[in-house]
Structure 1
Amino acid sequence: MQYALITDLHSSLSDTRAVLTAIQRTAPQAIVFSLGDVHECHIGKKRAKRYTFEEIEQVVTLDPDFLKLLFFETLLGNQEERLFSLIPTGVSHYLDQLRSSDRTKQTDSALFIHGDQLKWSYDLTPDTSSYPDRLLFFGHSHVRGLFKEGKRLTVHHDIPISIKRGRYAINVGPVLVEREWLLYDTTTETITFYRAK
């Protein structure tokens, strides 16, 4: 089975369209799966503490053209969590459906999370010690990365990397601006980082 993993779209129509087109071209049989932060919340964390809801457009832009691209399953990221805390139930049918999405997904071989659950160092190295899973996939930091047994490895685009032995933490990289995505092949036990044009 192949997964085309994406994360941190932040409502970017052009970047999301470019990545989904690249996935269709490169791995049309892959299951597209998002690790969260599909949407951008217009209200920052500090302002959210004192924000009183008035209208949805102040909080999020639900562009119909962008929404048409969202055919895939997604986890909830911190952006979605903030949206749900600010927008009452019943305001948006789409958001109400999204509320039922999970924060994590577990398969036989891997755990998928958004990444805001991790503790991050100043150089954006994640502390994954509280996650014993052999394969941990995440996003959130907007910096792609591969860590084996806690040590950062150098990665290049378009080159399959074997993940058969050892414990790996894999930061997929953001769709927003960088247009990155990752192909995870459970049969060959490889990952390949990609960047759409």
Structure 2
Amino acid sequence: MLDGAVRRRLEPILDRIGMALANHGVGADTVTIAGFLLGLLAAVLIAFEFYFSGAALILFSRLCDGLDGAVARASRKTDLGGFLDIVLDFAFYGAIPLAFVIADSAANGLAGGFLLFSFYLNGATFLAFAVMAEKRAMTTEVRGAKSLYFTTGIAEATETIAFFLACCLFPSWFPTLAAFFAAVCLYTALSRIVLARLAFQDKQ
């Protein structure tokens, strides 16, 4: 929901940094992988209850996630790069809730499982919609030029990162925050299903 406003403010800065990285020979895939590795390290820190350090690495990880697209625009975009970006993003989004479950499975296990279920369903609707949209040659740049059709929703990257950071700042609140955000993700998935019914109906 907030991704559009955030992108408009950050994209000019990211594009300048991305151009500088591309001019120094840094590839977009390298930035994508670096961001993922930072995200995994954040998950490890959270699992060992170093929550503030984990929060800092989450921010650096997502900075890389924004920069890889800027580097690609400054050099060249590839289908492999787009594939790698979305797969590693999903891996990151799964790793952070899992880390909270590992940190305190007794307190966080149920809420973390519910959250991961909601992420799974939300991701499935996102990717399935993209596949059907590609089949019908649909296009959109509502979130800028992307490697696949991008549907918006209440729970997007900005909201998810804000949620992760809130959990790091208030780890004892994880069960409540996770249950709430899982409900938001399920609502987003349901709205995408409704949108798919409207967009993909065959003519009678």
What TM-score range do you get, normalising by the shorter chain?
under 0.3
Larger relative strand fraction: 1
Larger relative helix fraction: 2
Larger radius of gyration: 2
